[in-house]
Amino acid sequence: MYNLFKSGMLIILMTLLMIFIGGAVGGRDGALIFFFISMVFNVFSYLFSDKIVIAMYRAKRADPSQYRELYSMLEDLSNRAELPKIPDLYIVPMDVPNAFATGRSPKKAVVAVTTGLLNTLRKDEIAAVIAHELGHIKHWDMLIQTIVASMASAIMWMSYIARWGAIFGGGRSSDDDNGGALGMIFVAIIAPLAATLVQLGVSRSREYMADDYSAKIIGSGEPLVSALMALHGESRYHRESEEISPATAHMFIFPSGFGGGLMKLFSTHPSLEERIKNLRK
């Protein structure tokens, strides 16, 4: 419940930030105009994300005869999650153990696991990872992330305009104009950073929610704790950054966040320690 509330508050904060920046840059209707433009681009990603990501990672639909046990596991967990349809199952030919979910709705969802994950984790750990991905599907996280990304994109564009406005308007001599220029510079520098931090904060809160959901339908958080620790250990032996694009890293269950203090604010995922603490709370 806390992470659901946190996601809601962050989305409200993003909305207020977008309205404020839009009003400062484009007048009363500026925010809505830029939001609409960014939505056009992001809706395409939302509608075709499953096909794009599957093609990007050369994933293949799992052979029901070869992966009979995995299909049975997915069906059982999907029934526990009360999803309207069992997600399509794909196998990603990648040594790095990982998994992701995509699709524009629970009726059009895909769960993909890497061969590395199947070769590394125990059955109960694989089940916990799949349950995590079903949590993303259950909570409509693709739609949530698309809306937040659209807001962030709109803010980025408005800040870009403010930056150029400050540059070309910075030569005026009046106090009011100088104050306005300083305000535009503030908007141009701070707004993109704030939008990024809020977007990443929403991503982390959705990861917590998916972790909680895994513990709920599995009956314990320990299998996912064990899986995350195994993924962390395996990541030392793989050059993961060469196989997983930064543009899609937020979709995968791993990597967890990096660093402490302020550094964790710039991660799509909570740290391993925070995720384990949350699962054992």
User: pLDDT tens, 140-180?
Assistant: 998 888 777 777 777 777 777 666 655 555 544 444 444 45
Cβ atoms of 211 and 279 within 8 Å: the answer is: yes
Looking only at the bridges linking them, the beta strands covering 99-102 and 60-61 are unpaired
How far, in Å, CA of 249 to CA of 272, rounded?
A: 15
Low-confidence ranges of the chain (pLDDT < 70): 1-8, 10-11, 14-32, 34-35, 37-39, 41-42, 45-46, 161-188, 235-243, 256-263
Under a CB-based contact definition with an 8 Å cutoff, are residues 214 and 135 in contact? yes
How far is 175 from 109, CA to CA, in rounded Å? Answer: 56
| pLDDT given for residue 146 in this prediction | 76
Indicate the length of the chain as a whole number: 281
Strands (E) across the chain are located at 60-61, 88-92, 99-102, 110-114
Instruction: Name the one residue in this structure whose structure tokens are 């709370």.
Output: 281
pLDDT computed for residue 278 by the predictor: 95
CB-count exposure of residue 50 (10 Å: 0-12, 13-18, 19+):
buried
- Residues 162 and 24: their CA atoms lie apart, in Å, by 9
Domain boundaries, the chain: 2-279
Cis peptide before 64 (omega within 30 of 0): no
User: Mind telling me the catalytic residues?
Assistant: 133
pLDDT of residue 53: 87
According to the model, what pLDDT value does residue 123 have? 97
